[in-house]
Structures are given as structure tokens and as C-alpha cells.
Amino acid sequence: MKLSDIKSSEAELQDYYAQLRSQHITPAWIGGGITREPKSKAVPWVWHWRDLRPQAMRAAQLVGTEQAERRVLRLTNPELPGLSASNTMVANIQIVMPGEIARAHRHSGSALRLIIEGNGGYTVVNGARLPMAPGDLVLTPNWTWHDHANDTDRPMIWLDGLDTPLVRMLEAGFYEEYHKETQTIVEGAGSPFAKYGEGGLRPVWEAEPATRYSPLWHYPMSQARAALERLAADRSGGPLDGIILEYTNPVTGGPAMPTIACYIQMLRAGERTQAHRSVCCTNYHVIEGRGYSVVGGTRLDWEDKDVFTVPTWTFREHVNDSDRPAFLFSFTDAPVMKALDLYREEAKAG
Ligand SMILES: [Fe+2]
């Protein structure tokens, strides 16, 4: 047995390829399709709050929530043809003005909100009212009814993260409007947090959820900050990312949602993390702090409330060159990669 060595003329080949094209068949030996390692079309990018906030306020002047199902600005990666910050996940800025509601709907894509500005508005998820304060994480997972309301006298602005590009690629998107504008609140403020917010303690009378997403839909910043500061006081954390915590599903210990994992990390003043890369795309939001990240050789300077994206299999390291701690929220599609045995991670040599 040996490799065969058939010689054809260029004319013969081109004629054959033309026939194949006319029959919607493609010779797989042309053009590859398999790469030695992942190469994202997306590029490292940062969107600065100093640009985002004025545009969000302008959107609030120009467009009402009657016209727009959601008043959302999509952060668009310069090299992605679709409207998303990263390959599988969007990162958007949403604004709800005083007295406004964003009406109830549900979709098969999963979403998270990281509150940037405003204190006292709320999201209702399947009838449970969730408070929203700066730095809080609020989940509106797959097929949960959700609406938002701002009953304060200041704008509410948050970061939206959704897996919609992935769901679209999988052709698995469903969407439905609620039969009225807002849900009836059946569980009082903070109910999911009251039941599941202690992590290690769980209410016995609650049936085990049939869904894979976390039943804890609200993760307050006050709790995350206290946990990070407690650990940062006398530990160095992990070798790659230092003091970093995952927002978990308290029932399973797994990621917050099957398609999106969420993290918060604290970079102490002067801290630099180890350059590493992983098979997942990651969107970051600077809850507070100032510093920079080197992503695929590009320096991204960031400060309070900025958003930046790290494409898959791209080395990233974070540097807090300021004299105060920095808190970075991030969300990734790592659970998808892990579920499919596609996840890898490595530190940069040297
Ligand atoms: Fe939604």
C-alpha cells in the first residue's frame, strides 16, 4: 500500500470542479477548513465608557421603549460581519430611563445583565423581582420571562451579555412576547437571593430545578466584593488569573448558565497576571479600576466601566498599574467548549 500519484491536467480538473459546482458539491481537498489551531476572525477591542455613555443617553432621547423592544447599543467587533462583540456572544449597552419599562418577553438565548449605573430599578424574572445595583449580576436565562423597570429618578444603564450569535448559528432561536407589558410579581424583592444566595445552604422545600441554569438570578456586587477582598488579603490566587471567582449555579456548582460562564476578579494595585490563552471567547467589563490588558500583542487601556473583548485562543494578561484595586467582570462561552470537549488552556511560555 502506498500513496497514489495520479496526474491530471489543469483543464480536466477545472472542468471537473465546474461540474461539481453546478451540482452544489465541493471538493474538500481545496481550501482546507481544518486549521492547526483556532484563529478567530474577531480582534481584541475596547469600547470606552466615555464614548458609550453619551451615545446611550442620546439613544434615550431619540428612541422610546414603545418603538424599541429593547433600547440597546450593540458593541460590534470591527472584524466580525455580524453585530456582535465576539464570535458567540454579544456585549450590549442597554438604557432604561426613569419611569420607563422594557416590556416582558422571553427567548431561547440566555442573557446576563451587569449593572453599570443607577440604583433601585429592577428586573422581573419568571415573576420574581430582582433588585439592580451597580456591579450586580442579574441572569435572565434561556426561556425565562423577563421585563425591566426603572422606578428611580436616574437613568439605569447596564451591560447585556447574550449567547445569541451561538443560538443563531445553531438555528435554535425561539422568541415570544408576554401577553401583557409587564409580569405580575409573585415573588418579592430578592426572593431568589434569599433562597440560594448563601451558596452552601439551600432550601430543602424547593424542588431540584429541571433546568440547567442557576436558580440564583441575582448576584450582588456587595457579596462578590467582600469575597474577593477576603481572599486577596492573604492569598495569591490561581497561577493564571490571580484572585478570580466564578458565579456558580448553587445547586450544581457549575456555571451560571449552560452557554455562558461568568467571573469576577480582583487585580490588586500593581498586580500583573500571567499571560495565557484558552479556547473560549471572553468579554470583559471593568466594574471599577484602571489599567491595561495585553491581548494578542495589542495593548488595551481600560478604566471604570469600559468593555473589552478577547477572541478565542488569544494570549491575554491584565495589568493594574494604578494605586487602587481593579474589579473585572467577564463572561465566556467556556461551558460550551467544555461540554463539547473542545476546551484547552495554556500559559504563555517564558
Ligand atoms: Fe430579552
Ligand 1 centroid–CA 142 distance in Å is 10
Ligand 1 centroid–CA 183 distance in Å is 13
pLDDT tier for residue 187 given thresholds of 50, 70 and 90: confident
Ligand 1 centroid–CA 18 distance in Å is 46
Please check the confidence at residue 282 and state whether its pLDDT lies above 90. yes
pLDDT of residue 172: 98
Ligand 1 centroid–CA 254 distance in Å is 23
Ligand 1 centroid–CA 194 distance in Å is 24
Ligand 1 centroid–CA 320 distance in Å is 34
| DSSP, residue by residue, 225-271 | HHHHHHHHTT---BTTTBEEEEEB-TTTSSBSSSS-EEEEEEE-TT-
Ligand 1 centroid–CA 94 distance in Å is 11
Ligand 1 centroid–CA 165 distance in Å is 14
pLDDT of residue 63: 93
pLDDT digits (tens, 9 = 90+) for 79-120: 997 789 999 999 999 999 999 999 999 999 999 999 999 988
| Residue 199 CB contacts under 8 Å (≥ 6 apart), including other chains | 248, 250
Ligand 1 centroid–CA 146 distance in Å is 7
- For the entire predicted model, the pTM comes to 0.95
Ligand 1 centroid–CA 106 distance in Å is 6
Ligand 1 centroid–CA 348 distance in Å is 38
Secondary structure of residue 175 in the 3-state scheme: strand
Ligand 1 centroid–CA 202 distance in Å is 28
Ligand 1 centroid–CA 84 distance in Å is 16
pLDDT of residue 61: 95
The mean pLDDT of the chain is: 95
Ligand 1 centroid–CA 105 distance in Å is 6
Average pLDDT over residues 243-267: 97
Ligand 1 centroid–CA 100 distance in Å is 16
Ligand 1 centroid–CA 127 distance in Å is 15
pLDDT of residue 189: 76
Secondary structure of residue 47 in the 3-state scheme: strand
Ligand 1 centroid–CA 139 distance in Å is 11
pLDDT of residue 350: 75
Average pLDDT over residues 10-27: 96
Ligand 1 centroid–CA 207 distance in Å is 26
Q: Which residues pair with 293 in a beta bridge?
A: 300, 318
Ligand 1 centroid–CA 107 distance in Å is 7
pLDDT digits (tens, 9 = 90+) for 126-157: 999 999 999 999 999 999 999 999 999 999 99
pLDDT of residue 34: 83
| Percentage of the chain modeled with pLDDT above 70 | 100
Identify which of 151, 97, 89 has the alpha carbon closest to the alpha carbon of residue 124: 151
Alpha helices for the chain (secondary structure H): 10-22, 49-62, 164-169, 191-196, 221-232, 334-339
The residue to which cell 433546568 is assigned: 211
- Which CA distances in Å does 82 have to 47, 48, 59, 234, 281? 17, 21, 21, 44, 15
Region of poorest pLDDT, from 139-143, 187-191, 263-267, 333-337: 187-191
pLDDT of residue 179: 96
Ligand 1 centroid–CA 16 distance in Å is 49
pLDDT of residue 59: 96
pLDDT of residue 308: 98
- Which CA distances in Å does 179 have to 104, 111, 122, 249, 286? 8, 21, 20, 30, 37
Ligand 1 centroid–CA 93 distance in Å is 13
Ligand 1 centroid–CA 113 distance in Å is 10
Average pLDDT over residues 229-240: 93
Ligand 1 centroid–CA 114 distance in Å is 14
pLDDT tier for residue 332 given thresholds of 50, 70 and 90: very high
